[in-house]
Amino acid sequence: MTFANGTRLPRILPGPMEGVTAGAWLKILTRRQWVNAWWTPFLRISIGVPRRSRLAAWLAPYLATGLPVIAQIMGEDAARLAETARRLRELGAVAIDLNCACPSPVVVRNHSGGERLRHPEWIATTLRAMKQAMGEAPVGVKLRVGYESPDEFATCIAPAVREARPDFVTVHFRTVRERYEPIADGLDRLSRARHALSGLTVIGSGDLFTPQDAIAMHERCGVDAVAPARGMLANPRLLVDVAQALRGEMPTPFTLQEKASLLGEFVVHSPRHFQLQIAANLYGKNSPEFNAFLKK
Ligand SMILES: Cc1cc2nc3c(=O)[nH]c(=O)nc-3n(C[C@H](O)[C@H](O)[C@H](O)COP(=O)(O)O)c2cc1C
Atom of ligand 1 nearest to the CA of 208: 26
C-alpha–C-alpha distance, residues 257 and 227, integer Å: 27
Ligand 1 pocket check for 17: Cβ under 6 Å: yes
One domain for residues 162 and 289: no
- Cα(102) to centroid(ligand 1), Å: 8
- What total number of domains does the chain contain? 2
Which residue in 3, 22, 14 sits closest to 271, CA to CA? 22
- Cα(174) to centroid(ligand 1), Å: 11
Phi, psi of 266 (to 5 degrees): -65, -35
C-alpha–C-alpha distance, residues 156 and 146, integer Å: 9
Provide the pLDDT confidence category of residue 139 given band limits of 50, 70 and 90: very high
- Model confidence pLDDT, tens digit, residues 4-39: 999 999 999 999 999 999 999 999 999 999 999 999
One domain for residues 142 and 82: yes
pLDDT of residue 198: 97
One domain for residues 157 and 279: no
One domain for residues 283 and 136: no
Cβ–Cβ < 8 Å for 143, 176 = no
- Cα(83) to centroid(ligand 1), Å: 25
Residue 6 falls inside a structural domain = no
One domain for residues 234 and 288: no
- Model confidence pLDDT, tens digit, residues 141-160: 999 999 999 999 999 999 99
Domain C-terminal end among 225, 246, 267: 246
One domain for residues 136 and 280: no
Cβ–Cβ < 8 Å for 56, 99 = no
- Model confidence pLDDT, tens digit, residues 211-268: 999 999 999 999 999 999 999 999 999 999 999 999 999 888 899 999 999 999 999 9
pLDDT of residue 252: 87
pLDDT mean over 67-73: 98
Q: Helices in 51-196 by DSSP H: which ranges?
A: 52-63, 78-91, 105-109, 120-134, 152, 158-164, 186-196
pLDDT of residue 138: 98
Ligand 1 pocket check for 238: Cβ under 6 Å: no
One domain for residues 162 and 234: yes
One domain for residues 158 and 260: no
CA distances from 35 to 84, 216, 248 (A): 26, 21, 19
Domain limits for position 135? 23-246
One domain for residues 113 and 161: yes
One domain for residues 189 and 272: no
Ligand 1 pocket check for 243: Cβ under 6 Å: no
One domain for residues 49 and 195: yes
pLDDT of residue 154: 98
Ligand 1 atom 29: residue of nearest CA? 17
One domain for residues 203 and 274: no
Ligand 1 pocket check for 186: Cβ under 6 Å: no
pTM exceeding the 0.95 threshold for the entire prediction: yes
pLDDT of residue 296: 87
CATH number at residue 71: 3.20.20.70
